[in-house]
Amino acid sequence: MFKQAEMAPLSSAFLIAMLLFGLVDSQLTSDHHDHFNMVFMEADKDNNGILDKSEFINSFTVYDGNKDGTVTKKEYMDHNTVVMPEHLMIVDPMFDKYDMDRNGQLNISDYQKFYPLMDANNDNLVTEQEFHNYWVSVFGDHSMMTMSMSG
Ligand SMILES: *[C@@H]1O[C@H](CO)[C@@H](O)[C@H](O)[C@H]1NC(C)=O
Ligand SMILES: [Ca+2]
Ligand SMILES: [Ca+2]
Ligand SMILES: [Ca+2]
Protein backbone atom coordinates (compact mmCIF):
# COMPACT_ATOMS: atom_id res chain seq x y z
CA MET A 1 0.00 0.00 0.00
CA PHE A 2 1.07 3.61 -0.61
CA LYS A 3 1.51 5.98 2.24
CA GLN A 4 -1.19 8.65 2.29
CA ALA A 5 1.20 11.47 1.30
CA GLU A 6 2.35 9.59 -1.79
CA MET A 7 -1.12 8.81 -3.07
CA ALA A 8 -1.91 11.94 -5.04
CA PRO A 9 1.15 12.18 -7.32
CA LEU A 10 1.23 8.44 -7.86
CA SER A 11 -2.39 8.23 -8.79
CA SER A 12 -2.10 11.16 -11.24
CA ALA A 13 0.81 9.52 -13.02
CA PHE A 14 -1.08 6.26 -13.07
CA LEU A 15 -4.15 7.98 -14.49
CA ILE A 16 -2.30 9.72 -17.28
CA ALA A 17 -0.60 6.46 -18.21
CA MET A 18 -3.94 4.67 -18.26
CA LEU A 19 -5.55 7.41 -20.32
CA LEU A 20 -2.71 7.37 -22.83
CA PHE A 21 -2.32 3.65 -23.20
CA GLY A 22 -5.66 2.33 -22.14
CA LEU A 23 -8.89 4.17 -22.50
CA VAL A 24 -8.19 6.59 -25.31
CA ASP A 25 -8.10 4.02 -28.01
CA SER A 26 -10.29 1.31 -26.61
CA GLN A 27 -13.80 0.44 -25.67
CA LEU A 28 -15.18 0.15 -22.17
CA THR A 29 -13.97 -2.79 -20.16
CA SER A 30 -15.93 -4.86 -17.66
CA ASP A 31 -14.22 -2.84 -14.91
CA HIS A 32 -15.92 0.29 -16.19
CA HIS A 33 -19.30 -1.38 -16.33
CA ASP A 34 -18.69 -2.68 -12.80
CA HIS A 35 -17.90 0.82 -11.65
CA PHE A 36 -21.11 2.30 -13.11
CA ASN A 37 -23.10 -0.49 -11.45
CA MET A 38 -21.35 0.04 -8.15
CA VAL A 39 -21.95 3.79 -8.15
CA PHE A 40 -25.61 3.24 -9.02
CA MET A 41 -26.15 0.62 -6.33
CA GLU A 42 -24.43 2.77 -3.72
CA ALA A 43 -26.76 5.67 -4.51
CA ASP A 44 -30.01 3.72 -5.00
CA LYS A 45 -30.70 3.47 -1.29
CA ASP A 46 -34.09 1.77 -1.53
CA ASN A 47 -32.80 -0.66 -4.16
CA ASN A 48 -35.74 -0.16 -6.50
CA GLY A 49 -33.59 0.23 -9.62
CA ILE A 50 -34.43 3.92 -9.88
CA LEU A 51 -32.15 6.72 -8.82
CA ASP A 52 -34.52 9.49 -7.87
CA LYS A 53 -33.24 13.00 -7.53
CA SER A 54 -33.03 12.98 -3.74
CA GLU A 55 -31.08 9.72 -3.74
CA PHE A 56 -28.67 11.22 -6.24
CA ILE A 57 -28.24 14.42 -4.24
CA ASN A 58 -27.77 12.43 -1.03
CA SER A 59 -25.07 10.32 -2.67
CA PHE A 60 -22.98 13.49 -2.76
CA THR A 61 -22.47 13.32 1.01
CA VAL A 62 -20.76 9.93 0.69
CA TYR A 63 -17.84 11.66 -1.01
CA ASP A 64 -17.75 14.70 1.25
CA GLY A 65 -15.18 13.36 3.70
CA ASN A 66 -14.94 16.47 5.91
CA LYS A 67 -18.67 17.36 5.53
CA ASP A 68 -18.11 20.98 4.46
CA GLY A 69 -20.57 20.81 1.55
CA THR A 70 -17.83 20.68 -1.07
CA VAL A 71 -16.22 17.63 -2.60
CA THR A 72 -12.68 18.13 -3.86
CA LYS A 73 -11.21 15.85 -6.47
CA LYS A 74 -8.99 14.38 -3.79
CA GLU A 75 -11.98 13.50 -1.60
CA TYR A 76 -13.72 12.00 -4.58
CA MET A 77 -10.69 9.99 -5.64
CA ASP A 78 -9.94 8.87 -2.10
CA HIS A 79 -13.45 7.50 -1.64
CA ASN A 80 -13.34 5.60 -4.90
CA THR A 81 -9.79 4.38 -4.45
CA VAL A 82 -10.66 2.88 -1.12
CA VAL A 83 -13.72 1.21 -2.58
CA MET A 84 -12.12 -0.15 -5.75
CA PRO A 85 -8.56 0.87 -6.74
CA GLU A 86 -8.80 -0.69 -10.20
CA HIS A 87 -11.62 1.72 -11.09
CA LEU A 88 -9.38 4.74 -10.65
CA MET A 89 -8.93 5.53 -14.34
CA ILE A 90 -12.60 6.15 -14.86
CA VAL A 91 -13.18 8.10 -11.67
CA ASP A 92 -11.19 11.19 -12.67
CA PRO A 93 -13.16 11.93 -15.86
CA MET A 94 -16.42 11.17 -14.01
CA PHE A 95 -15.58 13.85 -11.46
CA ASP A 96 -15.01 16.33 -14.30
CA LYS A 97 -18.42 15.49 -15.77
CA TYR A 98 -20.18 16.01 -12.44
CA ASP A 99 -18.41 19.37 -12.06
CA MET A 100 -20.97 21.30 -14.09
CA ASP A 101 -19.57 24.77 -13.35
CA ARG A 102 -15.99 23.56 -13.89
CA ASN A 103 -14.56 25.12 -10.75
CA GLY A 104 -12.69 21.97 -9.77
CA GLN A 105 -15.00 21.12 -6.86
CA LEU A 106 -18.37 19.46 -6.53
CA ASN A 107 -21.27 20.72 -4.51
CA ILE A 108 -24.98 20.08 -4.49
CA SER A 109 -25.58 22.69 -7.21
CA ASP A 110 -23.40 20.64 -9.57
CA TYR A 111 -25.41 17.53 -8.75
CA GLN A 112 -28.74 19.32 -9.27
CA LYS A 113 -27.63 20.52 -12.70
CA PHE A 114 -26.15 17.15 -13.60
CA TYR A 115 -29.16 14.97 -12.79
CA PRO A 116 -31.26 15.83 -15.91
CA LEU A 117 -28.37 14.88 -18.21
CA MET A 118 -28.85 11.24 -17.25
CA ASP A 119 -32.65 11.37 -17.56
CA ALA A 120 -32.96 10.43 -21.21
CA ASN A 121 -36.79 10.31 -21.33
CA ASN A 122 -37.28 13.42 -19.14
CA ASP A 123 -39.60 11.81 -16.61
CA ASN A 124 -37.58 13.15 -13.64
CA LEU A 125 -36.38 9.67 -12.74
CA VAL A 126 -33.13 8.00 -13.65
CA THR A 127 -33.39 4.27 -14.14
CA GLU A 128 -30.42 1.95 -13.90
CA GLN A 129 -30.52 1.64 -17.69
CA GLU A 130 -30.52 5.42 -18.18
CA PHE A 131 -27.64 5.79 -15.76
CA HIS A 132 -25.63 3.11 -17.51
CA ASN A 133 -26.42 4.40 -21.01
CA TYR A 134 -25.43 7.90 -20.02
CA TRP A 135 -21.96 6.88 -18.84
CA VAL A 136 -21.42 4.54 -21.76
CA SER A 137 -22.22 7.41 -24.14
CA VAL A 138 -19.80 9.70 -22.27
CA PHE A 139 -16.92 7.27 -22.43
CA GLY A 140 -17.63 6.33 -26.00
CA ASP A 141 -16.75 9.93 -26.84
CA HIS A 142 -12.99 10.33 -27.10
CA SER A 143 -13.10 14.11 -26.74
CA MET A 144 -13.97 13.48 -23.10
CA MET A 145 -10.56 11.90 -22.56
CA THR A 146 -8.73 14.62 -24.43
CA MET A 147 -10.48 17.24 -22.34
CA SER A 148 -9.60 15.46 -19.13
CA MET A 149 -5.93 15.19 -20.07
CA SER A 150 -5.51 18.82 -21.08
CA GLY A 151 -7.50 20.16 -18.13
C1 LIG B 1 -21.71 25.58 -5.36
O2 LIG B 1 -20.52 26.24 -5.79
C3 LIG B 1 -20.75 27.33 -6.66
C4 LIG B 1 -19.40 27.84 -7.11
O5 LIG B 1 -18.58 28.17 -6.01
C6 LIG B 1 -21.60 28.38 -5.96
O7 LIG B 1 -21.87 29.43 -6.85
C8 LIG B 1 -22.90 27.75 -5.49
O9 LIG B 1 -23.66 28.69 -4.76
C10 LIG B 1 -22.62 26.54 -4.61
N11 LIG B 1 -23.88 25.91 -4.23
C12 LIG B 1 -24.15 25.49 -3.00
C13 LIG B 1 -25.45 24.80 -2.80
O14 LIG B 1 -23.38 25.66 -2.08
CA1 LIG C 1 -34.26 4.32 -5.61
CA1 LIG D 1 -18.33 22.63 -9.18
CA1 LIG E 1 -35.90 8.81 -16.74
User: What confidence tens digit (pLDDT) does each residue in 40-57 have?
Assistant: 999 999 999 999 999 999
If you measure from the C-alpha of residue 50 to the centroid of ligand 3, how many angstroms do you get, rounded to a whole number?
Answer: 25
Percentage of residues in the chain having pLDDT higher than 70: 74
pLDDT greater than 50 at residue 119: yes
pLDDT greater than 70 at residue 5: no
Residue 10: CB atoms within 10 Å: 11
Q: pLDDT per residue over 142-151, tens digit each?
A: 444 444 444 4
* Cβ–Cβ < 8 Å for 87, 80: yes
Instruction: Please state, in angstroms and rounded to a whole number, the distance separating the CA atoms of residues 74 and 69.
Output: 14
Task: Give the nearest ligand 1 atom to 105 CA.
Answer: 2
More confident residue, 99 or 89: 99
pLDDT greater than 80 at residue 17: no
Which region holds residue 67: left if phi is over 0, alpha if psi is between -120 and 50, else beta? left
Average pLDDT over residues 71-95: 85
> Among 57-61, 81-85, 111-115, which range has the highest average pLDDT?
111-115
Average pLDDT over residues 77-98: 84
Q: Give the confidence band of 27 by pLDDT, cuts at 50, 70, 90.
A: low
Q: According to the model, what pLDDT value does residue 150 have? A: 45
As for ligand 1, residues whose beta carbon falls within 6 Å of it are 69, 101, 103, 107-109
* Cβ–Cβ < 8 Å for 128, 115: no
Ligand 1 pocket test, pick from 107, 112, 115 with the greatest ligand atom count within 8 Å of Cβ, gives: 107
Which whole-number Å values give the CA distances from 99 to 2, 45, 93, 109, 148, in the listed order? 28, 23, 10, 9, 12
* Ligand nearest to the backbone CA of 112: 1
Radius of gyration of the chain (CA): 15
Identify the residue whose C-alpha is closest to ligand 1 atom 7.
109
Percentage of residues in the chain having pLDDT higher than 90: 52
For 60-73, the DSSP string reads HHHH-TT-SS-EEH
Burial of residue 46 (number of CB atoms within 10 Å: 0-12, 13-18, 19+): exposed
The verdict on pTM exceeding 0.95 is no
Instruction: Please state, in angstroms and rounded to a whole number, the distance separating the CA atoms of residues 128 and 102.
Output: 26
- At what angle are helices 142-150 and 88-98 packed, to 10 degrees? 90
If you measure from the C-alpha of residue 115 to the centroid of ligand 4, how many angstroms do you get, rounded to a whole number?
Answer: 10
Identify the residue whose C-alpha is closest to ligand 1 atom 5.
103
